Amino acid sequence: MAARRAARTGLNGLFAVYKPPGVASIRVRDTVETLLLKELNSLEQPAVQQQVRFLPTTVEGNAGKELTLTVTQLPVLAAHPLVRGPEFTHLKIGAGHRLDTKSSGVFVLGVGHGNKLLTDMYNAHLTRAYTVRGLFGKATDDFSDTGRLIEKTTFDHVTRDKLERILAVIQGTNHKALLMYSNIDLKTQEAYELAVEGLIRPMEKTPPLITAIRCLQFAPPEFQLEIQCLHETQQYLRKIVHEIGLELKSTCVCTQVRRIRDGFFTLDNALLRTHWNLQNIRNSIQDSKSKVKVGLQRSLSCQARSGKRHTDMDQVAESKLHSTEGMSASDLTHKMR
């Protein structure tokens, strides 16, 4: 009993799992919950409570059968596991930014008191990084390679140079939209200083914005992009790939969308399917506790202090946050510097 309760109390916080493609994220959340419950319920069974009962029995006496009371020890039915059922039937596990069925990658879950941190992470408006693979030559109705074919085109004129030109324009227009949606008065000196440091970011709900995009691999007909974005959906990223195809006067479908970073959590922190057990999850929660706490504190305090806008001091702190975010993603991609 005590071991179980102890195990349960340690299970409060945020952790990341790797969601495989082809599975809905709600199913992933349910699976994690089921596995955790199974493990918690299978921990050492405490001994069933016993009670002493004086039960009437018949005993062979002198003059035939006689009623006497015999001492017996019986298990208390009210405390029997077969009567009560498993001790833990429900765990509060919340899902962070969801991934749709076809995509894969880092999926943040919160357990117990960590669900409150999920709301805080949502309000911190942190960026997420994806690797997106595209295929030239066809266009489909849902922008992915499993959709209904709309058109096939040639793509022998597409070179890496042309693709990077289009990506530069996408990055430029999104950067401009970033400044416009961040609700800052552009005529102030503060706006100039924030623009120089690149720290202007919207802190409220906006349409999807791409903060950075670049080409990692190019081997026609396939290519791979790294996209860092805000407030996006995976279907929006597929649409971006489709529109890149249109801009290049060809067509393109998206074959893979994979999230490599969600706020502070990267692929290194995400647990694979074989590691979804109690011990690993507890370790993961423990490891990420400190950076989650620090990060959320910073962004929440600066939000509280200045309403919707950032002040200079917190911008410096935010810039450190940005640099750590960028650093962890660059473990997976080649370093630019």
Partner 1 sequence: MAPAPLLLSGSRAWPRLLGTQRGLLVQGLQGARRGSLGSQVGQRGLQVLGPPGGLLLLLQQGLSRGFAKVAKTRSSREVREAEDSAPVFQYVGERSKRKERVFVWGFCHAGALGIPSFVKPDAGWKKRRRIQPTPYRLDTAEKISSAACGYGFTLISSKTTDITKVWGMGLNKDSQLGFQRSRKDRTKGYEYVLEPSPIPLPLDTPQETRVLQVSCGRAHSLILTDKEGVFSMGNNSYGQCGRKVTEGEIYSESHLIHRLQKFDGRVVQVVCGQDHSLFRTERGEVYSCGWGADGQTGVGHYNITSVPTKLGGDIAGVNIVQVATYGDSCLAVSDEGDLFGWGNSEYMQLASITEMTQVNVPRHLPFKIGKIKDAACGGTGNAVVNGEGNVFVWGYGILGKGPNLMETATPEMIPPTLFGLSDFSPDTRVSRIRCGLSQFAALNNRGELFVWGKNIRGCLGIGRMEDQYFPWRVTIPGEVVDVACGVDHMVTLVKSFI
Measured from the CB atom, the residue of 48 and 168 that comes closer to partner 1 is 168
> Do 194 and 185 touch, CB atoms closer than 8 A?
no
Measured from the CB atom, the residue of 82 and 196 that comes closer to partner 1 is 196
Measured from the CB atom, the residue of 187 and 205 that comes closer to partner 1 is 187
CA angle (103, 225, 248) in 5-degree steps: 110
Single out the segment in contact with partner 1 by CB under 8 A; choices: 55-63, 79-87, 94-102, 157-165: 157-165
Interface with partner 1 includes 170 (CB under 8 A)? yes
Q: Say whether 287 is catalytic.
A: no
Copy the structure tokens of residue 293: 């706490």
Single out the segment in contact with partner 1 by CB under 8 A; choices: 96-104, 182-190, 253-261, 275-283: 182-190
What is the size of the binding site for partner 1 (CB under 8 A)? 44
- What single-letter amino acid sits at 207? P
Report which of 222, 210, 69 is spatially closest to residue 136, judged by C-alpha positions.
222
Distance separating alpha carbons of residues 323 and 330, to the nearest angstrom: 10
Q: Could you say which DSSP state residue 157 is in?
A: T
Interface with partner 1 includes 204 (CB under 8 A)? no
Single out the segment in contact with partner 1 by CB under 8 A; choices: 29-37, 117-125, 192-200, 269-277: 192-200
Interface with partner 1 includes 214 (CB under 8 A)? yes
Give the relative orientation of helices 160-181 and 234-247 as an angle to the nearest 10 degrees: 130
Distance separating alpha carbons of residues 32 and 271, to the nearest angstrom: 11
Measured from the CB atom, the residue of 33 and 145 that comes closer to partner 1 is 145
Task: Tell which one of 30, 197, 268, 312 touches partner 1 (CB under 8 A).
Answer: 197
Mark 293-332 with x for binding to partner 1 (rule: CB under 8 A) and - for no binding. Answer: ---------------------------------x------
Question: First and final CA of the chain: distance in angstroms?
Answer: 54
216-275 residues near partner 1, rule: CB under 8 A: 243, 246-250
- What single-letter amino acid sits at 129? A
- State the nearest-atom distance from the C-beta of 228 to partner 1, in Å: 9
Measured from the CB atom, the residue of 20 and 172 that comes closer to partner 1 is 172
Measured from the CB atom, the residue of 250 and 288 that comes closer to partner 1 is 250
Distance separating alpha carbons of residues 173 and 139, to the nearest angstrom: 24
Q: How many CA atoms lie within 13 A of 159 on its CB side?
A: 3
Residue-by-residue DSSP string for 98-122: ---TT-EEEEEEEETTHHHHHHHHH
Task: Tell which one of 1, 48, 69, 149 touches partner 1 (CB under 8 A).
Answer: 149
46-65 residues near partner 1, rule: CB under 8 A: none
**Buried residues in 98-108 as b, exposed as e (16+ CB within 10 A):** bbeebbbbbbb
Binding residues for partner 1, rule: CB under 8 A, are: 137-138, 149-154, 156-157, 162, 165-166, 168-173, 175-176, 186-189, 191-193, 195-198, 212-214, 243, 246-250, 326, 336-337
Residues designated catalytic: 100
